[in-house]
Amino acid sequence: MTDTELVARAHGGESSAFDELVRRHHRVLYRTALAIVRSHADAEDVAQNAWLQVYRNIGRYRGAAGVTTWLVAIARNQAINCRRATFRRLTREAEHTRAGTQSASPEDVVLGNERRAHLARSIARLPAPLSRALRLWHTGRYSYAEIAQIAGTSVGTIKSRVWLARHYVRGVPRPASRRRR
């Protein structure tokens, strides 16, 4: 039975058809999520949330794209949302910790340390030019022009590197590049 037939049957209420879709595609959804969230526990949660979205929206599949493509798109969107939520939570915790440094509870200190460690890991995963530009910019000691001079490149290049690095660290995927024809 094809995936398209399984979707149609699952939409018709046949639970075994949905179970077969999960059996066939769970691994690819999990791997898609893992590539984005980089945590096995989060990837499993993302995959489960993606399947819940698929179940709720099975009737919206129109066949314009392959079933696998449709499923991966749902998992990808769920994973991006997860990364964004994690980044927002860590940022709020860091701001809260920074605001109450003198009266920070032990839990706040631990959360702040976890946030800083997560941020350091995210920056360490960046390509060297992006990481270097972001680190120099984030210190607040250098202007874009000074960073460009240190790196031996243009101000525009440094601005784009900082922008890209900040988006990667936030969990926003890189925008599709434009091809010149």
Q: What is the pLDDT of residues 134-165, one digit of tens each?
A: 888 777 777 888 888 888 999 899 988 988 88
Q: What is the pLDDT of residues 68-110, one digit of tens each?
A: 999 999 999 999 988 888 887 777 777 766 665 556 677 877 8
SS percent in the chain: helix, strand, coil, step 5: 75, 0, 25
Q: Are 134 and 169 in contact (CB under 8 A)?
A: yes
Q: What is the pLDDT, as a whole number, of residue 111?
A: 80
Q: What is the pTM of this model?
A: 0.55
Q: What SS3 state is found at 105?
A: coil
Higher pLDDT, 10 or 167: 10
Q: What is the pLDDT, as a whole number, of residue 181?
A: 46
Q: What is the pLDDT of residues 1-56, one digit of tens each?
A: 999 999 999 999 999 999 999 999 999 999 999 999 888 989 999 999 999 999 99
Look at residues 125, 108, 110 and name the one whose alpha carbon lies nearest to residue 39: 125
Q: Are 147 and 163 in contact (CB under 8 A)?
A: no
Is the pLDDT confidence value at 173 over 70?
A: no
pLDDT interval class at 171 (50, 70, 90)? confident
Is the pLDDT confidence value at 126 over 60?
A: yes
Is the pLDDT confidence value at 178 over 70?
A: no
Q: What SS3 state is found at 12?
A: coil
